[in-house]
Structure 1
């Protein structure tokens, strides 16, 4: 296990990102509520999801009832099959993107073959191979509920579509009472294999989010940032 859950603020907890850049292990947010906790992202594999489950149990937090995908990329969704009894929520555009991913014949040989065809896939696909030793347990889970612009969950967690060049289905999740905004990878540049020399972080989006002046903001591959 990487480490235990970190308390961010209010009812928001975080299973932190993997600091090893080759692992591509995004953080997982937990917004605790007696009606059922809200997970922000699923983990990058069933094994990663099980680590988070153990950490939630160790803290005595309510079991998750909702699982929100900040976007469709593998390191945010491949752990979903290991989460029982949750409703998966995502932007409507994630459905076709995840359906296409589910139709690919994922295996270690497939990863090697794809990297041979496009070496730029190497960092991502090597990380997938490390994350999933047994592809027999991988199942890509499509969302059970989708939305277009915004959605508020029964626990008060607010979801909002922001899009961007990293992933068109990117959303942010706000817990108003805790003043914590979880942004996934929304302002990141495109994935490495699609990136050009002119691509960089979406600074305009980052500034818009900072201007909302939440107490803490969390992206998926960095430590939480206090203030704005």
Structure 2
């Protein structure tokens, strides 16, 4: 599976439903490059980097995490360059590190999650790390001709949700933010969803990118979200 091009400067590796691997994105600046999310495992990272190199692009200088869930973070130990996450993301990952000290934790995840079992079929240990840099509210990374505006936002999926806005290309990366909270019995907090809808509507974007589906137009996504509110 190779990279797909969304715009002249933005590429992505498609999500994989069989293992529930999320989409991983690549933003090419004149000076620096930035990836969105660190993937499910070192194997996921290797597939992503192989697709990047096939397009004669360099490995990312930065990797931004959208939230702590393991399909987005358990590959962080294998990423190139500097990783960036919200401070709450690191708090959650610290708890994951503590749980992973129990040698039976990975087997418990395999029993509970068929997608995890497929991704980690040949692995018997976890390498969970925290990000190199963290932020509390928002930060901006100047890539040279491209800007990544990273900000924390209220969302129903996870408390640590971070979105990434690329103003030059009018693209907003939303991670899994629009989904229910799978770690809280699939609860959908409609007040948080309404807040997220207001955030999306306020952004000057053409594309909205969710991690487990194809890119969507802003109005198409808003129409869907308002229908479930």
Q: Residue 90 of structure 1 corresponds to which residue in structure 2?
A: 85
Q: Residue 209 of structure 1 corresponds to which residue in structure 2?
A: 200
Q: Residue 119 of structure 1 corresponds to which residue in structure 2?
A: none
Contact 1:70 1:76 in 2 (8 A): yes
Instruction: Give 1:72 shift.
Output: 0.6
Match of 2:74 among 78, 83, 99: 78
Give CA-to-partner distance per residue, 1:30-59, whole Å, 9 cap, x none.
Answer: 111242310100111111110000000011
Contact 1:44 1:77 in 2 (8 A): yes
Q: Residue 69 of structure 1 corresponds to which residue in structure 2?
A: 65
Residues 102 and 51 of structure 1: is their aligned pair in 2 closer, same or farther, counting only changes over 3 Å? same
Q: Secondary structure at the match of 1:153?
A: strand
Q: Residue 194 of structure 1 corresponds to which residue in structure 2?
A: 184
CA distance in 2, matches of 1:217, 1:6: 15
TM-score (norm 1): 0.84
Q: Secondary structure at the match of 1:103?
A: helix
Residues 197 and 176 of structure 1: is their aligned pair in 2 closer, same or farther, counting only changes over 3 Å? closer
Task: Provide structure 1 residue ranges, at least 5 long, that are not aligned to the other structure.
Answer: 117-121
The Cα RMSD (Å) is 2.3
Match of 2:56 among 47, 54, 60: 60
Count of residue correspondences? 214
Q: Residue 2 of structure 2 corresponds to which residue in structure 1?
A: 4
Q: Residue 33 of structure 2 corresponds to which residue in structure 1?
A: 37
Instruction: Give 1:15 shift.
Output: 0.6
Contact 1:34 1:62 in 2 (8 A): no
TM-score (norm 2): 0.84
Q: Secondary structure at the match of 1:9?
A: coil
Q: Residue 100 of structure 1 corresponds to which residue in structure 2?
A: 95
Contact 2:152 2:161 in 1 (8 A): yes
Match of 2:155 among 148, 151, 164: 164
Q: Secondary structure at the match of 2:52?
A: helix
Q: Residue 227 of structure 2 corresponds to which residue in structure 1?
A: none
Deviates more, 1:126-135 or 1:99-108: 99-108
